Chain A
């Protein structure tokens, strides 16, 4: 099955700990994205990558970090510097740049207490 996967579905962490969210795609897409969604809100862009070994900050990059060492993988680390990390995190990919339709993973719900 082609698609985009995120793991785990639910993640619980104590405040002050870094946590890494996984995102993998087998669609052979060049571009990948991370979004954050808070209850009743839209999606806000955290980071995006249009090609391996390159990524750009989105609107709310502070307290987050990413890497893009392989085309199929775009992990997101939520650091202890992120003041309010509890949210629903969505990863997406697209065949090309920002004009193309995006394919989304099922999301990871992170709870930090």
Chain B
């Protein structure tokens, strides 16, 4: 199955700073999705970037995709306490669905 691997596993930053997390995957994809999970809750879809796109923005989120390196990054600008959560990437191709272990982001007020 196609699993994304997020890096770092955990990240703590001060409120107002930018947070960057990375995702690597192994096989070809149709698109790559990022999700957020608050503690004890379901996942929430944040953004989808297609394989022919290199960068996408949504509010304070910026996602890049480098298919030659099989990697993606998620940048959250001007972080807020409410951004504290786990973030998962989900590469989507022809293999079975799965999610990685995520990056646990903590925003320090």
Contact = CB atoms under 8 A, between A and B. Distances in A.
B109 interface: no
A1 interface: no
Interface residues of A, number: 24
Chain B's interface size range is 20 to 34
B42 A90 contact: yes
B88 A43 contact: yes
A107 interface: yes
Contacts of B40: 88, 107, 109
B101 A102 contact: no
Interface string A71-102: 00000000000000000101010000011011
Interface string B29-64: 011010100001111110010000000000000000
Contact of A107 (B41, B90, B96): B41
A58 B45 CA distance: 21
A2 interface: no
Given A45-B96, A99-B31, A105 B42 contact: yes
